[in-house]
Amino acid sequence: MDVVARVDVLALAGTPAETFTAGGAAVTVGPRGSVVIADPVDQVGASGVWSSEEFRLVGPVPGALAERFLRSARAWPSLAPSAELGSIHLFVRLGQAFLYLGTVHHSQSGWTGDVWTMEDCTLRVEPPLSRDVLDRVRPPGTPTTLPGLDWLDHVDDDRATALRLFIEGWYPPPDPDEEPDTPSVVVPEALAAFYRLARGRTGVLGVQNFIRPAGDLTIGADGLLEFGHENQGCFSWSLDLSQDDPTVWTSDAPDFRHVEREPLSGFLLQFSLYEAMLNAPYHAWSRPVPTPIASELLGTLRRVPLKTWMWPMYQTSFYVAPGLIACVDDDEENEECRVEFGATHRSLLRPLADQGIRWSVFDG
């Protein structure tokens, strides 16, 4: 990696050039290419190096500038095959100097639907940055507070309290101005309490899969209340309203249902743990690893005392530590596991970096 005293932006981008700011980073776009100069930060809402393989540019970026920026990345749909393509050069400011991380490539970007504006953009860093370089351009930090585990002591005897303490500890305080959503039918107390906890808290009803809004509940022809669904509609969750703590059914075909091993009170805690893991800002997701290695990864975590979750196939268990959730899919036949971690602070994943595992996602 080269450290330079100054960046000759115009030599790299060409003239005429135009500069815009996105999430604290300066981006210059010209006929030869683009130059991104960022600070060494580690903040969710700021542009910066995210991992050893990713730089995240945080918008919004006006469409006209985004078009010129991403044309150089071969990512703009209207790019003419004969157009001259430039590179995107990435620098990180280190005091009075700049560290050149090389050329980066467009990986994905998000756009608003109503106004043609780029909201965010992920740039691929190749080859991946070493740990030493990563610590220079994304300085490690320590958490001030973490969600605790007081809820875990109530799972066996008072799941309503366990769920309430988990959600209150993991999510910010609710928006007091959000209007309550009254259930369209009378629901079991566990589900009614869940809706009260979800009021004013973004994400509690799901980010990958979803518990239906209280006002959208329906009773099917089979007499069961359908109260949740997978994000693409591949399966749904339903329950029997005649029971106090109902059995939960997972249906992936009109006439094919699986019984969940936990009743509604335990199921809602499993759902909440899974969605909180997915919605956490930092992740480490493994490919299948031998069960003994998975056990080592989980050695400092506590297992949530619930039966395995049906999805994907009665294999999912949950392990937790302060600010950290692990979902473990155990394939007993092949003696291997897939482990997915979600963390509220990046430092909680850092010890996993030295385990010799090929991670499909690693934000530590």
pLDDT per residue over 97-129, tens digit each?
Answer: 999 999 999 888 888 765 678 889 999 999 999
Q: What value does the mean pLDDT take over residues 283-296? A: 95
Kindly report, residue by residue over 316-336, the tens digit of the pLDDT. 999 999 999 999 999 888 899
pLDDT at 72: 53
pLDDT at 311: 62
- Cα 192 to its chain centre, rounded Å, is 27
Q: What value does the mean pLDDT take over residues 26-51? A: 94
CB 353 within 8 A of CB 339: no
DSSP 32-96: SEEEEEE-S---TTS-EEEETTEEEEEEEEEHHHHHHHHHTTT--TT--TTS---EEEEEEEETT
pLDDT at 83: 45
User: Could you tell me which residue, 113 or 343, shows the higher pLDDT?
Assistant: 343
Closest CA to 88 of 73, 110, 71, 68: 73
User: Which secondary structure element, helix H or strand E, spans residue 52, and what is its range?
Assistant: none
CB 107 within 8 A of CB 124: yes
Q: Which CATH code of 1.10.10, 3.30.1380, 1.20.1070, 2.30.280 fits the domain covering 2-137?
A: 2.30.280
Beta bridge partners of 21: 26
Site of tokens 């990180």: 92
Q: For residues 361 and 128, what is the distance between their CA atoms, to the nearest angstrom?
A: 13
pTM of the model: 0.90
Lowest average pLDDT, out of 7-16, 52-61, 67-76, 219-228, goes to 67-76
Kindly report, residue by residue over 48-77, the tens digit of the pLDDT. 999 999 999 998 887 767 777 776 555 555
Q: What value does the mean pLDDT take over residues 246-273? A: 92
Q: What value does the mean pLDDT take over residues 139-168? A: 97
- Cα 277 to its chain centre, rounded Å, is 7
Q: For residues 57 and 41, what is the distance between their CA atoms, to the nearest angstrom?
A: 12
Average pLDDT, the chain: 91
Is residue 80 pLDDT above 50, yes or no? no
pLDDT at 8: 95
Site of tokens 């990864």: 297
pLDDT at 254: 67
pLDDT at 313: 61
pLDDT at 198: 97
Is residue 298 pLDDT above 70, yes or no? yes
DSSP 307-339: PPB-TTTS-EEEEEETTEEEEEEEETTTTEEEE
Q: Where are the alpha helices (DSSP H) in the chain?
A: 9-13, 63-71, 131-137, 159-170, 189-198, 264-279, 291-297
Domain limits, the chain: 2-137, 150-271
Is residue 174 pLDDT above 90, yes or no? yes
pLDDT at 111: 81
Radius of gyration of the chain (CA): 24
User: Which secondary structure element, helix H or strand E, spans residue 287, and what is its range?
Assistant: none
